[in-house]
Amino acid sequence: MKKIINDPATVVVDALRGMALAHADLLDVQYDPAVVVRADAPVPRKVAVISGGGSGHEPLHGGFVGRGMLDAACPGAVFTSPTPDQVAAAVARTDGGAGALLIVKNYTGDVLNFETAGELADGVDVRTVVIDDDVAVKDSLYTAGRRGVGGTVLLEKIVGAAAERGVDLDGCEALARRVVSRVRSMGLALTACTVPHAGEPSFTLADDEMELGIGIHGEPGRRRVAVGSADEMVRSLLDPVLEDLPFGEGDRVLLFTNSMGGTPLIELYLAHGIAERLLAERGIVVERRLVGPYITSLEMQGMSLTVLKLDDEMVELWDAPVHTPALRWGV
Amino acid sequence: MACTAEAVAEAVRAVAAVVVEHREELIRLDREIGDGDHGENLARGFTALVSKLDEVPSSPGGVLRLAATTLISTVGGAAGPLFGTAFLRAATSVGDVASVDGAAVAAALRAALDGVVARGKASLGDKTMVDALTPAVAAAESVAAGGGGVAEVLGAAADAAEMGADSTVPMVARKGRASYLGERSAGHLDPGARSTALVLRALAGRAR
């Protein structure tokens, strides 16, 4: 394992120190427990939008803290959900008197820890919205349900914009549930990633193999299949996404083409172009796009596609100003 | 024979040593069907717990409560809330008494299992720690009902937990991250069931 680290046990804190220095104008980082907070928090009478999860998915979530998006992020250990104290500290630090909305990706650890935190919150109206947009996972009585993946980025942006405009907690919660009901994702991996404390890759793939239907933690996917052309890869992600909701002719969508960390932009743009072409062939209108590494799995090569069915309000909130380390426009 | 706070603290230190010793094994098991952090997370939590035990609380329940709050705030993942809840319910079950006997240990294990089931919503056969803890509790209750002491109760619990953990190998996971693998999760020992058996074996090893 070759990585730019000193000690696997202190990777997250060491990274947070650098992040705090790099974005001192936007972020206030506290370390015990670890919470990344927007510099001007708490914002009076504004709903606090809080998320978090394991580290290793940068820029998610700390990179999305700032005006128009998250009020705080709780970074857990690498690929490990944060603890309830972190979430409780984030709620206390950002409480502007209008309550808090917790955005939780559907992974067992995240749900359990945020649930426990909600019970610890003292005197703050805390609501939780669980996102489960990954179509690779069967949602049934026999699984933990679909995972929360790429749709999380879009959810945080849209709900963050609503909260910034002064939408109340009921309104933010309803909007969040609407976004969750209209967003779907799927990902693939060309290589595994190496978690610092594990020291070796989470799985091994032959040169001609890929994992289809991965989550964001280096866990194996649903199936191991032969690597095909870029056209075939994009189709293998897009088809199940479009069939699931389903998306159909005339739908207006936001298309999010995401790198898992190790795939360079040249390949990502190539894939994005293919995805747009395939959507156009089906009469689906791409109204907004996001392309880049926004929810990653360390250095894993691979990509995910996320499609959100837009309405006018979501378009307006997507376009609203955002000023965070990783997303910035309109300011 | 009954256990005092100092004895419970000693047993918890033994658990920590075993968890640290098996850290890599648990990471490996978790990497096969999960995300590979189980050993790391438990080792971090129990190491933090050992340093807090420099000052031992005055009752067995106090030690268990300290274990619960420390694990919840340092482990993360699913294991933090689940092990934390187990210790918290055990602490509540034990109460403020100065020492615990076999019957109290069995009752504490039952409370721990109920807490884990309530928080994690897993049932027997889902390929989780419940598959180790459920037979452990049954064995502990049976031995306690026959008048067994702490060592006998925990020994029986550890034996049953090890068999229960082994029974997870052929199972298809229905809870936690391994459930995403579907049929591919079969053929692997569940890391949570394994760590549960390790914890009980370590506790049994220190009970006198």
Please tell me the predicted confidence (pLDDT) of residue A56: 96
Q: Which of residues 199-218 of A touch B (CB under 8 A)?
A: 202-203, 215, 217-218
Listed residues A132, A165, A180: the one ending a domain: A180
Do A63 and A41 belong together in one domain?
Answer: yes
Q: Work out whether strand A72-78 and strand A322-323 pair parallel, antiparallel, or are unpaired.
A: unpaired
Domain count of the fold of chain A? 2
Confidence of residue B26 (pLDDT cuts 50, 70, 90): very high
Chain B residue numbers touching A140 (CB-CB < 8 A): none
Hey, what are B142's tokens?
A: 């049976």
What are the pLDDT digits (tens) for B104-139?
999 999 999 999 999 999 999 999 999 999 999 999
Asked if residue A6 is part of any domain, the answer here is no
- Mean pLDDT value across residues A249-255: 98
Do A127 and A218 belong together in one domain?
Answer: no
Cα A88 versus chain centre, distance? 20
Q: Which of A65, A53, A58, A27 is nearest to A292 (CA)?
A: A58
Mutation target for A interface from B30, B37, B175: give the one with most A CBs within 10 A: B37
Q: Residues B150, B105: contact at Cβ < 8 Å?
A: yes
Listed residues A129, A149, A180: the one ending a domain: A180
Residue A217 annotated in active site = yes
Do A32 and A124 belong together in one domain?
Answer: yes
Q: Which of A47, B126, A142, A108 is nearest to A116 (CA)?
A: A108
Catalytic residue among A23, A61, A197, A217: A217
- Residue B80 is nearest to which of A83, A142, A203, comparing CB atoms? A83
pLDDT at A139 over 80: no
DSSP run (H or E) holding A120: helix A108-120
Asked if residue A3 is part of any domain, the answer here is no
Confidence of residue A219 (pLDDT cuts 50, 70, 90): low
DSSP run (H or E) holding A21: helix A11-22
Residue A57 annotated in active site = yes
- Domain, as residue range, for A60: 12-180
Do A24 and A173 belong together in one domain?
Answer: yes
| Averaged pLDDT score across all residues of chain B | 94
Please tell me the predicted confidence (pLDDT) of residue B200: 97
What CATH number corresponds to the domain at position B14? 1.25.40.340
Q: How many residues does chain B have?
A: 208
* The model's pTM: 0.88
- Domain, as residue range, for B157: 3-207
Domain count of the fold of chain B? 1
B82 to chain A, minimum CA–CA distance in Å?
8
Chain A residue numbers touching B73 (CB-CB < 8 A): 33, 83-85
Do A96 and A209 belong together in one domain?
Answer: no
For residue A70, report the phi and psi dihedrals to the nearest 5 degrees: -95, 145
Cα separation, A83 vs B75, in Å, equals 7
Asked if residue A329 is part of any domain, the answer here is no
What CATH number corresponds to the domain at position A84? 3.40.50.10440
CA-derived radius of gyration, chain B: 16
| Averaged pLDDT score across all residues of chain A | 94
Chain A residue numbers touching B76 (CB-CB < 8 A): 54, 76-77, 80-83, 109, 113
For A310, the 3-state DSSP assignment is coil
Cα separation, A104 vs A98, in Å, equals 19
Do A69 and A153 belong together in one domain?
Answer: yes
Chain A residue numbers touching B35 (CB-CB < 8 A): 79-80, 195, 202, 217-219
- Judged by CB atoms closer than 8 Å, whether chains meet at A108 and B175 is answered as yes
- One-letter amino acid at B39 equals G
Burial of A164 (0-12, 13-18, 19+ CB in 10 A): buried
For B56, the 3-state DSSP assignment is coil
